[in-house]
Amino acid sequence: MEESKTAPAKVHLTPQFATLVGALLALVGALVGHYVSQINTMTTAAKDVDVKKLEVANAYKLEKAKHEHQVELEAQKFVRDIIAKTLEKGTAEEQTRNLKAYAKINLIGKPYKEALLSLTDQELPSIDVEKIVGKSSDNLNPHELDRLLRSSRAVGRVLVRGNSHAAMGTGFLISDRVLMTVYHVLPNKETAQHSSVQFGYERTEAGGVGAQDEFAFDPQALFMSSEEFGYTIVAVQPLSKQGSPLTRFGSLVLSPGKVVIGTTISIVHHPKGEEKKIVFRGGSIMAATANVLHYGIFTEPGSGGAPVFNDQFEVIAVHSGFVPAKDKDGRALDAKGAPIDETTGLIAIRKTAKEGYQITGMLRHLTAASGRLPPAQQVLLKSLLSR
């Protein structure tokens, strides 16, 4: 028998069900359209962000290039000011070619070296560097090194304990009773009265810090300072709190010698108030005025008051601080080259050089003031001026 075939049943949609299906399809379409639109919007926004980033990056590069160009111009102006104002003898041409000679052998650091070497041959005539500079400044005899090490014994860490602050500085003995430092470390008798100096705070061969002797200041016996000439001298008690005599540390002679641009310098200091360090011929003199020297050498906060030695290891200056870079309007610049104002806050300042006060000006000022002192103080002052 043949099996009977049954036809499939036809599905009949009710009007209500058809309306529901249509509504669902329309909703799905609307949702798909919405998300596609959102994706397109997000893609466009991302592209806009990338464009903005590129514009910002390009603007930064442009501003950086402008600033670097301005720094170069300022450095060249600074060099020309050196030529015009700082050397006592010689024509501007002679001064300039000497500076270029020093720049060639790396006695003048950035940005002054680049500024000097960028000047034209007409501005800087050719010269025999060997005839000007002579032998290499890195050479020294053993007795010279011994002299510098002995000199370093007279350098101490100044412990400043004022009424409103505690800080560190550097100072050095200039006689068997008198210490010299920079003005801002001990600006007045009151600060000196509460402060002291510590000798022997230095690293030993074994790696530790050696025994220190701390001496109180005696500003009633002698205290003189000058903000203009950048110095303070103060008497020191003859015995330390540990019972050691002050004379065991020796003293340094102040030198009124001539300052020559390009001369290499050394410094003995307590950077950041830490152990004593010696920077041996680590920089050179860049510029000089009647009272101030500019030079390039490593220092830190705490180095203020340190003796600056010339290449004969004579004390020619007292270290003060750094010279900030400035724009054409005289505003100090931060590390990125942006002007600093009262809204900037505590940030790194761009430095162009380090600064110290010349011994020559101090000696003139001390000599002029000595006659107005009481007899006992005149004796202390005479002991250092007559050396």
Please state, in angstroms and rounded to a whole number, the distance separating the CA atoms of residues 122 and 126: 9
pLDDT of residue 14: 66
For the chain, the maximum distance between any two Cα atoms, rounded to a whole number of angstroms, is 151
CATH architecture assigned to 142-385: Beta Barrel (2.40)
Q: Which residue has the higher pLDDT, 282 or 219?
A: 219
Q: Which residue has the higher pLDDT, 359 or 331?
A: 359
Q: Where are the domains of the chain?
A: 67-127, 142-385
pLDDT of residue 315: 94
pTM score, whole prediction: 0.63
Does 267 have pLDDT greater than 90?
A: yes
Quick: pLDDT tens for 68-121.
666 555 555 555 555 444 444 455 555 565 555 555 544 445 555 555 555 554
91: number of Cβ within 10 Å: 10
- Per-residue pLDDT, averaged over 165-175, amounts to 88
Ranges 15-19, 108-112, 118-122, 209-213, most confident: 209-213
If we measure between CA atoms, which residue out of 264, 162, 168, 178 comes closest to residue 215? 178
Q: Which residue has the higher pLDDT, 385 or 343?
A: 385
Sequence-distant (≥ 6) Cβ neighbours of residue 283 within 8 angstroms: 109, 264, 265, 295, 296, 297, 298, 354
Through-space distance between the first and last CA atoms of the chain, rounded to whole angstroms: 144
Strand pairing category for 213-216 and 315-324: unpaired
Query: Do 114 and 72 touch, CB atoms closer than 8 A?
Result: yes
CA–CA distances in Å: residue 327 to residues 6, 125, 353, 375: 99, 30, 15, 50
pLDDT of residue 177: 95
If we measure between CA atoms, which residue out of 163, 214, 216, 154 comes closest to residue 188? 163
Please state, in angstroms and rounded to a whole number, the distance separating the CA atoms of residues 5 and 11: 19
Please state, in angstroms and rounded to a whole number, the distance separating the CA atoms of residues 58 and 121: 35
